[in-house]
Structure 1
Amino acid sequence: MSTLTSQATPKALPEKSAAVAAAPARLSLGLLTALVVGSIIGSGIFGLPQNMAAGAGAGAVLIGWLITGAGMLSLALLYQMIALRKPALNNGVYAYARAIAGDYVGFNSAWGYWVSAWLGNVGYLVAAFGALGYFFPAFGEGNTTAAVIGASVVLWVVHGLVLKGIKGAAVLNAVVTVAKVLPLLLFIVLVALAFQVDVFTLSLWGDAKLGSVLDQVKSTMLVTVWVFIGIEGASVYSARARNRADVGKATIAGFLITLALLMAVSLLSLGILSQPDLAGLKNPSMAGVLEKAVGTWGAVLIYIGVIVSVGGGFLAWTLLAAESLFTPAGDGVMPKALAKQNGQGVPANAMWLTSGMVQLFLLVTLFSKASYLALISLSTAMILLPYLFSAVYGLVLALRREGEAGTLRGIDLPITGLATVYCVWLLYAAGPKYLLLSALLYAPGALVFMLAKREQGRPLFRSFEWALFAALVALALLSGYWLSAGKLAL
């Protein structure tokens, strides 16, 4: 494909925009690692025992984690490899897609990532106030009037905090990340002490209702798609790293920390309650597990942990969402207004747009809970294409042997190949329903892309980009028609 060669040249693709070149590089390895951990660990881990046990026995859960560990490790190593080979490419998920297929594909990668980020933030706020509902019934499941008012206050307080400076917000994110990991570590220690081998082996391979071991393993894959989103966090913030080599290190460190926590929480829980009992717990199911192990105070601890954790996740994803608009705007791929920074070096207009969308969909939760839950699933589907673009770009670099010096020579091709296969598998696991519905969110982004091109007086699309645009519009129209006809449900 001709675009694989033509887009890599400095003339066709500037590796650093003026806006990004001016961005201060102040984030240390520790802050970048905290950003990765903070963006991965949110509400998902607290429901993990029930989510994994709902479709799999202990043996299948273990196999699922082995597959996920290998797949996600390959992605983490891939981001490290690209960061070393192409250190001038900023905002990885966008820049890598743009490098391999041009402006419109790069735009869609950034757009999909941004939509996924703010949809996920709606979920974080609802989850936080749902946890507060354990103590204050007026908040209910997180979508009552009182909860939406409270969530709106938190949204705009965090918005104001981020506007005061990226580094200050990143430091606070690091503090919150430590605070939310502590209850998880306490859970792991207490549950390990109460662990019973006979409970773990009671339904090791599940029962007939769960299907074959392969079916059980596939069910765990669907869960891990959501709980591992955020592994690319350091690459998105690469322009602000103190040392570019820290981007890859932070990705690997963040991955290892979160994998250990996720595996421990899900596997140790199977030694406290049997698979059927775990599957029947309400979420956050970690509360039910710890209550069984140590009593009522354990459930209270987990609910507090949920509140702190999703608050930290919300902060991390607020930072990532704004940054995902800022870099493309500096390259002329998004409207130039989104590249505007305030006196603190924060992309203010990108922040206002992101917070505005979160506020809008908080209001949606008051009227259409089912639609909100569907949008959270769409949040996962929206980020899968950016992951695939990153994997394919890494594979192309490995095949061409570009920038090999000092990197993972000899194993880069197997790593990037595995990452690509894993990303394709995730698309398959998501299923056609949400991938088709995601076209409804991708297609309108073309209007934003067209505005950016009009500002520069440049042609809207190249030949193959017209074909991609037409395909997205066709899928969006088909999805809309099937929705209205009742053939497709949110």
Structure 2
Amino acid sequence: MSSAETDLSVPASAKLSMLTLTTIVVGSMVGAGVFSLPQRFAENTGVAGALIAWTIAGGGMLMLALVFQSLANRKPHLDAGVFAYAKAGFGEYMGFFSAFGYWASACVGNVFYWVFIMSTLGAVFPELGSGDTVLAIVVSSAGLWAFFFLVRRGVKEAAVLNRVVTVAKVVPIVVFVLLALFAFKLDVFTANWAGGENTGSLFGQVRGTMLVTVFVFLGVEGASVYSRHARRRTDVGRATVLGFLSVFAIFASVTIVSYGVLPMSAIAKLHQPSMAGVLEAAVGPWGSVFIGVGLIAAVLGAYLAWTLMAAEVLFVAAKANDMPQFLRRSNAADVPVPALLMTAIMGQAILIFSYFSKDALNFALDLTSALVLVPFLLAAAYGLKVALTRDTYLEQPRGWTRELIIALLATIYTAFLLYSAGLKFVLVAFLIYAPGTVFFVMARREQGRKLFSGRELVILTVSLLGALVGIVALAVGWIVL
């Protein structure tokens, strides 16, 4: 085990090419979320609302991707971007919150993936139910620990495997879009245009889709998180934008073509993965099987990518003295084993907890999105701060106006996402954020430093009050897990 405290250098043999970085972005974004899009959109909005939602989500996430690209170029010394940007812009405690929230989001998201796989297999093996039976949890747990031992062998090997899996899972989705276009009915599409009687106002329809669009776009920051492994720093920004544009085209296409196959009321009632039900309606029973196979490849690939990123964030945060020292250690293959182990343990705990949840699948999806909004907002706000203070722009003045506008739009978009998440998921997020402060206290004690500054005490108080309100909300039934 290596325990160097400040050296974040990566051996040349472990460096990643732009192609591999791009597939990390694509691999972490194309997961279970895309297979649930038809049903999640149809229960909230019609075609018009979906087009507006994708325009907002695509534009907003593109701005965020461009912020990551700009910061990667202007702040090349900041590795593990999401966490490092929050710390550089708003202090150590907010940086800690960003790192912990991002990590917790990845853990909850990984549980969503296993539940989704078991739910898909449940159509063939009833004992697995909707992914939340005892047998489903046992099988999922076995898979979780199998991936732990796979990633433990080496980052480069896992990343290369992710590249292969990425290709395997994108192909079925592209085939779905083509077959759905072949079965497309204009009259059905037109009838779905304005939404149903229960979908409400157009603004309400758009707002109702925001959390699911956040979930499917998670991973856009993948190359930024893994920037210390890049062969060339410029590859980080290029991989981010290229991966985002590729995936955005896929996600929007899957949603829109589905409205031309079935009435939205029928799509809204489909069992997840709803892409399977849409394709079955278009081509027959084999379509459902085809999508099921593609989903398993997609989910396992995304799970691998998210596991890599989650462990990386804990490791780099520990190296920067914002997490306890034991998380700094890595093995000879450059794998942060203690951070990886923490990720597996957290995933296992959430997986067991899912057995007691009323709707584990959708709750995990929405909570994953809510947890990651704080890291996204802080990263966008840091990009805005860099532009407003002209930090680095005296040496590199080119592009200031463009990057200022991009950062402003990204900040507005991520703030709107927090509003769209609603009070329920903000309070539940506090329930996870507040206890995580224990790791921050451990790190400060190890360094013999004062536990909290005055400003940090204010942030701590807000988070504790939010967690307290969340506990009360759960106790009296305002929030149902």
Q: TM-score range by the shorter chain?
A: over 0.9
1:332 is the counterpart of 2:321: yes
Shift of 1:453: 0.9
| Residue of structure 2 equivalent to 1:61 | 50
Which of the residues 419, 433, 449 maps onto 2:440?
449
Which of the residues 446, 449, 473 maps onto 1:458?
449
Which of the residues 338, 356, 359 maps onto 2:345?
356
| Residue of structure 2 equivalent to 1:4 | none
Q: Which moved more, 1:266-275 or 1:317-326?
A: 266-275
Contact 2:24 2:305 in 1 (8 A): yes
| Residue of structure 2 equivalent to 1:94 | 83
Contact 1:81 1:407 in 2 (8 A): no
User: Mapping of 1:286-435 within 5 angstroms?
Assistant: 286-370=275-359, 374-404=363-393, 405=396, 408-435=399-426
Contact 2:215 2:365 in 1 (8 A): no
1:277 is the counterpart of 2:262: no
Superposed CA deviations along residues 91-117 of structure 1, whole A, max 9, x for unmatched, are 111101100111111001000000111
Return the letter of the residue paired with 1:156.
Answer: W
Q: Which moved more, 1:100-109 or 1:188-197?
A: 188-197
Which of the residues 465, 469, 476 maps onto 1:478?
469
| Residue of structure 1 equivalent to 2:199 | 210
1:231 is the counterpart of 2:202: no
| Residue of structure 1 equivalent to 2:237 | 248
Q: Distance in 2 between matches of 1:17 and 1:411?
A: 38
Q: Which moved more, 1:16-25 or 1:204-213?
A: 16-25
Q: Distance in 2 between matches of 1:60 and 1:34?
A: 30
Unaligned runs of at least 5 residues, structure 2: none
Shift of 1:135: 2.3
Aligned in 2, Cα 1:488/1:137: closer, same or farther, shift over 3 Å? closer
Q: Distance in 2 between matches of 1:474 and 1:193?
A: 54
Aligned in 2, Cα 1:459/1:349: closer, same or farther, shift over 3 Å? same
| Residue of structure 1 equivalent to 2:8 | 20
Q: Distance in 2 between matches of 1:203 and 1:378?
A: 29
SS in structure 1 of the partner of residue 272 of structure 2: coil
Unaligned runs of at least 5 residues, structure 1: 1-15
Contact 2:212 2:369 in 1 (8 A): no
SS in structure 2 of the partner of residue 210 of structure 1: coil
Q: Distance in 2 between matches of 1:480 and 1:106?
A: 25
SS in structure 1 of the partner of residue 77 of structure 2: coil
Contact 1:200 1:271 in 2 (8 A): yes
Q: Distance in 2 between matches of 1:221 and 1:119?
A: 18
Shift of 1:23: 6.2
SS in structure 2 of the partner of residue 209 of structure 1: coil
Same amino acid, percent of matched pairs: 46
1:440 is the counterpart of 2:431: yes
Q: Distance in 2 between matches of 1:96 and 1:23?
A: 24
Shift of 1:174: 0.9
Q: Distance in 1 between matches of 2:201 and 2:473?
A: 33
Q: Distance in 2 between matches of 1:407 and 1:140?
A: 57
Superposed CA deviations along residues 66-108 of structure 1, whole A, max 9, x for unmatched, are 1111111101111101111101101111101100111111001
Superposed CA deviations along residues 283-310 of structure 1, whole A, max 9, x for unmatched, are 1111111111111111110111111111
Aligned in 2, Cα 1:19/1:187: closer, same or farther, shift over 3 Å? same
Return the letter of the residue paired with 1:328.
Answer: A
| Residue of structure 1 equivalent to 2:99 | 110
RMSD after superposition: 1.8
Contact 1:58 1:275 in 2 (8 A): no
| Residue of structure 2 equivalent to 1:258 | 247
Superposed CA deviations along residues 293-336 of structure 1, whole A, max 9, x for unmatched, are 11111111011111111111111111011001000100111011
Shift of 1:407: 6.0
Shift of 1:211: 1.9
Which of the residues 134, 158, 168 maps onto 1:145?
134
Aligned in 2, Cα 1:436/1:363: closer, same or farther, shift over 3 Å? closer
Shift of 1:134: 2.1
Shift of 1:401: 2.3
Q: Distance in 2 between matches of 1:484 and 1:60?
A: 35
1:76 is the counterpart of 2:65: yes
Which of the residues 110, 119, 131 maps onto 2:120?
131
Return the letter of the residue paired with 1:410.
Answer: T
Q: Distance in 2 between matches of 1:223 and 1:275?
A: 17
Q: Which moved more, 1:479-488 or 1:343-352?
A: 479-488
Aligned in 2, Cα 1:287/1:337: closer, same or farther, shift over 3 Å? same
Q: How many corresponding residue pairs?
A: 475
Contact 2:380 2:407 in 1 (8 A): yes
Shift of 1:155: 1.1
Contact 1:395 1:420 in 2 (8 A): yes
Aligned in 2, Cα 1:368/1:55: closer, same or farther, shift over 3 Å? closer
Return the letter of the residue paired with 1:482.
Answer: A
SS in structure 2 of the partner of residue 410 of structure 1: helix
Shift of 1:348: 0.5
Superposed CA deviations along residues 142-174 of structure 1, whole A, max 9, x for unmatched, are 122222222122111111111110000000011
Contact 1:110 1:386 in 2 (8 A): yes
Return the letter of the residue paired with 2:176.
Answer: F
Q: Could you tell me the TM-score, scaled by structure 2's length? A: 0.95
Shift of 1:367: 3.8
Return the letter of the residue paired with 1:170.
Answer: A
Q: Distance in 2 between matches of 1:265 and 1:245?
A: 31
Superposed CA deviations along residues 438-463 of structure 1, whole A, max 9, x for unmatched, are 11111111111011111111111221
Return the letter of the residue paired with 1:20.
Answer: L
Superposed CA deviations along residues 155-202 of structure 1, whole A, max 9, x for unmatched, are 111111111100000000111111110100111111112222222112
